[in-house]
Amino acid sequence: MQRSRVCVSVLFLALSVHFSSSQTYVLDDKGGLGRLFDGIGGLSGGGVTEFLSLSLFFFFYQMKTTCQPYRSQILDYLFKPNFGASLHILKVEIGGDAQTTDGTEPSHMHYENDENYFRGYEWWLMKEAKKRNPNITLIGLPWAFPAWVGRGKNWPYDYPDITASYVVNWILGAKQYHNLDIQYVGIWNERKYDIKYIKVLRNMLDKVGLSGVGIIAADGDWSIANSMISDHALNDCVEVIGAHYPGTTTVADALKTQKKLWSSEDYSTFNDEVGGGCWARILNQNYVNGNMTATISWNLVASYYEELPFGREGLMTAKEPWSGNYVVESPIWITAHTTQFTQPGWTYLRTVGHLAGGGSYVALTDGKGNLTVVIETMTHDHSVCIRPPLPPFHVTSQNATFQLNGSFASIKELQVWRSQFNFKTKTPSLFEKLKPLKLIDGSFTLNLSEDEVYTFTTMTTGQKGVYPDPPAPAGFPKAYKDDFNVRNPPFSEAPHFADQTGVFEYYINLTDPGPHTFTLRQVVTERPVTWVADADQTISVIGDYQWQNLTVTCDVFMESVDSGGVFIAARVNKGGESVRSANGVFFWVFADGTYKVTNDLAGQTVLAEGLSGTRAYGWNTLSLTVNGQLASGQLNGYPLWKNAVVLNPKNGWAAIGTRSFELAQFDNFAVVAD
């Protein structure tokens, strides 16, 4: 049915180029071109937003060859040219050991005299992206910093040389250990910029041979532009002004700097069809309204527990490593409308703008005769992003004639790709290849409906990549255990644990040649420098948020004499930026020989307490059972407390953690849920 409509439409185009109600839009390069296009990208950051299905997913399945294809498939949909999203840019968090939205990412320098460029999964992700697209642009940005960088303050700029050295080491390590060339580096995610620091960073980059690494500032609003206008030295240091969630608009001062303008973090919207509509609108209008030549999605892929903040706000969804299920959401195909038919280095035409009946169009050229035109007619209610608020506007069905002039006048045929969201019928048709369009005298006319995206292009390389359906979704295994016995782990984290504060890493315990040689260790001993309020405790969650009745067991080892404390927990109901107020059932033991059971992570609501005999530097086995409104705990196989009344929460994750930023080890973790 759709194909028949296309044939009729093409015939109409040829015969009705002067249809009276059609608005004409001229695409021309006679008067010069617009700004250079820098690309469309995705962002892996904000605290382990890809930890389930882009890193630990693959480790968990490394020995299960039947599951290996899903790893490659997900990455292909994101990065493989002419296949899926075909992203031009990958921006990653420079881990800082701190909660930064949905969890913590480990630093390459936990301490001043400590360097390790194999922690976390961002290195691996960048290499996988490079395998698929050797030309992809790589960007690093700190969200947080280890405590030593701030020298006791929650601020990284008092000692700019130290902070700059820390960031430069990350860039050098990327090259030395992973052969990754970082093209851009940011300042500090969504925090006030510091002019002195930016100058110090630029100077240090130049001194170590990284003059080609551009600085993006300030990864917040546009306010740095005013400082750049009045400070020529600062202006020379900054290559890109990056704004977050700019609402498709810029400011006059930013334009005056004549710098590249990017939406260096955008989208951040639930990835249903309205989310796809949001993405379609801003990809065009960030340039039409704001002269922004790159747009980067937070986040790359929703691979974190959905109940964490901003659940399912990725270009696609891949959050079940235990089942192998993933979903190619609409933003993947909306991205393809631009990325598969352009490349960084192409140039926008000056003749871009809004359609008379609502919507927008952009046109880009490679300067070699190729042309790509992207048109969107997204309506207000079907293109709302999470932020900023979207002012009212109206879109209606319309006829639009496009006249190709200048060097494009001789184009006789354009390839056509279309997405129709079909909100009324709820049967979207995404990234569909239509019959090539024959032009008459460089002109073609469209009948544009609401909530559509079109690409018209001379490029013939587009493809809607497809793989067999992945396995069906399934809940987290009701019986799960991990002994952490991995001699050479590919990642520093253990599968499925989502660190919310602190950093839990694989560890070789050389002081115990017995059953606890390989453990999981919490390694952060000071509160990091972060713009998100970390809890006073450290905690890593795991499992199914819907768990109600379960038993959690784990061997624990405290390394802080007298002040040490560790816990296991069930029904933990909050994470991410809200982790400080998490409730659940927390079974604590302390190095002073006591225990406590609390209804909250902060330890304020006490359900039971007493003597435990526990001490530092000795292994103990904790077991916590929650059934209905009653909870009981065992220490080393013997009942320590029982029948504590738990009214709320009714469900939540399992967890492990410590009562402060302190060293502690965990082994033989197990959970069994009803």
Mean pLDDT, range 203-232, rounded to an integer: 98
Mean pLDDT, range 646-661, rounded to an integer: 98
Asked if the model's pLDDT at residue 294 lies above 90, the reply is yes
Give the per-residue pLDDT at 51. Answer: 59
CATH number at 131 reads: 3.20.20.80
Give the per-residue pLDDT at 6. Answer: 34
Q: What angle do CA 557, 563, 564 make, to 5 degrees?
A: 15
Report the relative pairing of strands 653-658 and 565-572 from DSSP bridges: antiparallel
pLDDT digit string (tens) for 47-72?
Answer: 766 656 444 444 443 434 445 689 89
Structure tokens at 162: 């130290």
Question: Is 190 an active-site residue?
Answer: yes
Look at the block and give the residue holding tokens 């984290």.
Answer: 493
Give the per-residue pLDDT at 489. Answer: 86
Residue 381 in any domain: the answer is no
pLDDT band of residue 2 (cuts 50, 70, 90) is very low
pLDDT digit string (tens) for 109-121?
Answer: 999 999 999 999 9
Sequence-distant (≥ 6) Cβ neighbours of residue 513 within 8 angstroms: none
Return the percentage of the chain with pLDDT > 70, whole number: 94
Instruction: Tell me which of 115, 190, 307, 559 is the catalytic residue.
Output: 190
pLDDT digit string (tens) for 497-524?
Answer: 999 999 999 999 988 778 999 999 999 9
Q: What is the pTM of this model?
A: 0.95
477: DSSP letter: P
CB 103 within 8 A of CB 575: yes
CB 498 within 8 A of CB 104: no
Mean pLDDT, range 577-594, rounded to an integer: 97
Give the per-residue pLDDT at 46. Answer: 85
Report the relative pairing of strands 452-457 and 353-354 from DSSP bridges: unpaired
Nearest to 571 by CA among 650, 671, 475: 650
Give the per-residue pLDDT at 64. Answer: 42
CATH number at 514 reads: 2.60.120.560
Residue 258 in any domain: the answer is yes
Task: Please state the length of the chain.
Answer: 674
Give the per-residue pLDDT at 287. Answer: 98
408: DSSP letter: G
pLDDT digit string (tens) for 234-284?
Answer: 999 999 999 999 999 999 999 999 999 999 999 999 999 999 999 999 999
Q: According to DSSP H, which parts of 136-223 are helical?
A: 147-150, 160-178, 195-207
pLDDT digit string (tens) for 117-162?
Answer: 999 999 999 999 999 999 999 999 999 999 999 998 999 999 999 9
Task: Write down which residue in 264, 299, 323 finishes a domain.
Answer: 323
CB 587 within 8 A of CB 635: no
Residue 11 in any domain: the answer is no
CB 502 within 8 A of CB 536: no
Q: How far apart are CA 621 and CA 614, in angstroms?
A: 10
Question: Is 405 exposed, middle or buried, given 0-12, 13-18 or 19+ CB atoms closer than 10 A?
Answer: middle
Lowest mean pLDDT among 326-330, 379-383, 527-531: 527-531
Asked if the model's pLDDT at residue 671 lies above 70, the reply is yes
Give the per-residue pLDDT at 532. Answer: 77
Give the per-residue pLDDT at 565. Answer: 98
Give the per-residue pLDDT at 7. Answer: 33
Q: According to DSSP H, which parts of 340-393 are helical?
A: none
Q: How far apart are CA 567 and CA 572, in angstroms?
A: 12
Strand-pairing partners, residue 6, are: none
Q: How far apart are CA 25 and CA 404, in angstroms?
A: 9
Q: How far apart are CA 51 and CA 164, in angstroms?
A: 27
Asked if the model's pLDDT at residue 536 lies above 50, the reply is yes
Question: Is 662 an active-site residue?
Answer: no
Whether the bond between 468 and the residue before it is cis, its omega within 30 degrees of 0, is no
Give the per-residue pLDDT at 49. Answer: 65
Radius of gyration (C-alpha) of the chain in whole angstroms: 27
Give the per-residue pLDDT at 511. Answer: 82
CB 298 within 8 A of CB 44: no
Residue 174 belongs to domain spanning: 40-54+77-273+286-323
Residue 544 in any domain: the answer is yes
Instruction: Tell me which of 50, 122, 128, 265 is the catalytic residue.
Output: 265
pLDDT digit string (tens) for 97-110?
Answer: 999 999 999 999 99
Residue 206 in any domain: the answer is yes
For the chain, what is the domain count?
A: 2
Dihedral sign (CA 350, 351, 355, 361): negative
| Side-chain half-sphere CA neighbours of 590 within 13 A | 15
Nearest to 86 by CA among 468, 366, 464: 464
Mean pLDDT estimate for the chain:
93
Asked if the model's pLDDT at residue 613 lies above 50, the reply is yes
pLDDT band of residue 16 (cuts 50, 70, 90) is very low
pLDDT digit string (tens) for 449-487?
Answer: 999 999 999 999 999 999 999 999 999 999 999 999 998
444: DSSP letter: E
| Side-chain half-sphere CA neighbours of 10 within 13 A | 15
Q: What angle do CA 101, 671, 510 make, to 5 degrees?
A: 80
Residue 640 in any domain: the answer is yes
pLDDT band of residue 615 (cuts 50, 70, 90) is very high
Give the per-residue pLDDT at 226. Answer: 98
Residue 254 in any domain: the answer is yes
Mean pLDDT, range 653-674, rounded to an integer: 98
Q: What angle do CA 364, 370, 375 make, to 5 degrees?
A: 40
Q: How far apart are CA 73 and CA 78, in angstroms?
A: 9
Residue 112 in any domain: the answer is yes
pLDDT band of residue 491 (cuts 50, 70, 90) is confident
Q: How far apart are CA 297 and CA 51, in angstroms?
A: 17
Mean pLDDT, range 620-635, rounded to an integer: 98
Asked if the model's pLDDT at residue 319 lies above 60, the reply is yes
